Amino acid sequence: MRMKHNISVKTQEKVSAGQVITTILVILGGLTMIYPLLWMVMSSLKENNEIFSSASSLIPKELHFENYANGWRGFAKISFATFFKNSFFIAAVGTIGAVFSSAFIAFGFARLKFKGRNFWFICMLVTMMLPFQVIMIPQYIIFNKLGWVGTFLPLIVPSFFGGSFFIFLIIQFIYGIPKDLDEAAKIDGCGYLDIFIRIIIPLIVPALVTCAIFSFMWKWDDFMGSLLYLNKPSMYPVTMALKMFADPTSITDWGAMFAMATLSIIPIFLIFVFFQKYLVNGISTEGLKG
């Protein structure tokens, strides 16, 4: 009995030691990942000369909240309120289009049988492997011939034709929903559109929220698309406006730039905090839980 007791005590000590080491490693990893963010936030409160001269120090000597006021004024008589409004418009409209179009397409692949379904599904998966640099020039040529360059259309309209990653995610989620629900709805006289709206949509809300979070983040952080298609400062999103602060031909107001960069991450941070549970449930791809 004493030997068994000693063995159990040693096992508990090993488990406790392992948990402590794991916790320490996780904390160190978390601090390593969050340090650049903390550095940016604290640099937004420093004077320009102090930002890089004391880069190793997080705590500013004096708090310069005027950096936020200076940054908010923007440039070319355009305040950052305009840039935030443009980013919200592009991200919100693009997200709505991407989520609902992807859900509609995913329902077709998951529930409908049509000729060439497997072929088109493979084509959709292949597009996930294509980097943006491959399609960048062909897309620009198409949008230029349509006369869309210089407008928000190239940044928004493609979202209304679905996203391959979102389609794949929603398909896996729909596979977890029993087809018996579809059959029962058909007996009650529902068509495919009714099944999609009344049955499928309510059950895939976690997947839709997950897609919305990713889509909003990607649209909000998109720099290359704005650089290609927007040519007026009044139409710039936040990503382009931040780049305009760094002017190699003049003195860069680093404090104001870091201040606006800090404000730009607040929407993404709030979305992740409030919708984190949906993100976890969506990625787990479980249609029903019994």
Tens-level pLDDT at each residue, the chain (290 residues): 544 445 454 555 555 777 888 888 888 888 888 888 888 888 888 888 888 877 777 888 888 888 898 889 888 788 899 999 999 999 999 999 999 999 999 999 998 888 888 899 898 888 888 888 888 999 999 999 999 999 999 999 999 998 899 999 899 888 888 888 888 888 888 888 888 988 889 888 888 988 999 999 999 999 999 999 998 889 999 999 888 877 666 677 888 889 999 999 999 888 888 877 766 665 554 444 44
Q: Find the domain containing 15 and state its range.
A: 2-66
Residue 197 CA, chain-centre distance (Å), reads 25
pTM flag (> 0.85) = no
- Taking CA atoms, 211 is separated from 94, 168, 264, 266, 281, in Å, by 12, 11, 21, 19, 12
Residue 59 counted as domain residue:
yes
Q: How far is Cα 104 from Cα 111, in angstroms, rounded to an integer? A: 11
Residue 289 counted as domain residue:
no
Phi, psi of 222 (to 5 degrees): -65, 120
Residue 290 counted as domain residue:
no
pLDDT at residue number 158: 92
> Do residues 59 and 100 share a domain?
no
Four-CA torsion 62, 244, 219, 146, nearest 10 degrees: 170
Handedness of CA 231, 232, 236, 241 (dihedral sign): positive
> Do residues 220 and 189 share a domain?
yes
- Domain tally for the chain? 2
pLDDT at residue number 289: 43
Which of 66, 86, 108 terminates a domain? The answer is 66
| 95 within 8 A of 160, measured Cβ to Cβ | no
Q: How far is Cα 204 from Cα 288, in angstroms, rounded to an integer? A: 9
- Taking CA atoms, 221 is separated from 16, 88, 90, 224, 253, in Å, by 42, 11, 11, 9, 21
Handedness of CA 137, 142, 143, 145 (dihedral sign): positive
Phi, psi of 230 (to 5 degrees): -105, 130
Residue 160 CA, chain-centre distance (Å), reads 17
> Do residues 234 and 109 share a domain?
yes
Handedness of CA 247, 252, 254, 256 (dihedral sign): negative
Residue 224 counted as domain residue:
yes
In the numeric block, which tokens belong to residue 233?
């400062």
Which of 44, 66, 88 terminates a domain? The answer is 66
> Do residues 42 and 97 share a domain?
no
At 146, the amino acid letter reads: L
> Do residues 16 and 92 share a domain?
no
> Do residues 211 and 82 share a domain?
yes
Indicate which CATH number applies to the domain containing 81.
1.10.3720.10
